Amino acid sequence: MEQITKDKDNLIIKIPLKQEVYNPYTDEVEGEIDNIIGVIEGDQVGFAYQIDMSYKDKDPQIGTTFYVDYMENGEFIKLCEKLGLGVMEYPVCATCKEVIYGSFTLDDEGEPMCDKCEMEERDKELTEKTYEEIK
Ligand SMILES: [Zn+2]
């Protein structure tokens, strides 16, 4: 798939911009979608593969980030526009500042909160409640 070569000064990796949409139920190619998406993960940005899910009637999933950079978000979004790529920004937990990759809830201020912080918050509330009951 990827073609990896070099010239005098650079490693050159060619990654197709599009991938075929393949339907395993009909065994047919039903078009194409972007193969690559720009991702913003907290203070790092990069490029990731998209995983076609259209045969399940779902939006593409985001796969492995295969290139990472630390350029400023606005600069990166402009680069993606220039390259014709979509951009996805992962939510960041407002409590611990970790990037959230899976499901998450919103805290009292309506900000994203990761599962770990949600559990700690719940434990804290339970402990306080128990303490109140003992008093
Ligand atoms: Zn958190």
Question: For residue range 54-109, what is the model confidence (pLDDT) as tens digits?
Answer: 888 888 999 999 999 999 999 999 999 999 999 999 999 999 999 999 889 999 89
Distance from Cα 117 to the centre of ligand 1, integer Å? 4
- Expressed in angstroms and rounded, the spacing between residue 61 Cα and the centre of ligand 1 is 23
Per-residue confidence band for 36, with pLDDT thresholds at 50, 70 and 90:
very high
Interatomic CA distance for residues 107 and 93, integer angstroms: 9
Say how many Å lie between the CA of residue 81 and the centre of ligand 1. Answer: 31
pTM, 2 dp: 0.81
Between the CA of 97 and the centroid of ligand 1 the distance, in Å, is 6
Contacts of 71 (CB under 8 A, 6+ apart): 45, 79
Residue 10 Cα to chain centre, angstroms: 28
pLDDT at 119: 94
Question: What is the reported pLDDT for 2?
Answer: 63
Q: For residue 37, how far is the Cα from the chain centroid?
A: 9
Residue 1 pLDDT greater than 60, yes or no: no
Distance 100 CA to ligand 1 centre (A): 8
Contact between 29 and 18 (Cβ < 8 Å): no
Question: If you measure from the C-alpha of residue 126 to the centroid of ligand 1, how many angstroms do you get, rounded to a whole number?
Answer: 18
Beta-carbon contacts of residue 97 (< 8 Å; ≥ 6 apart)? 42
11 CA to centre of ligand 1 in angstroms? 38
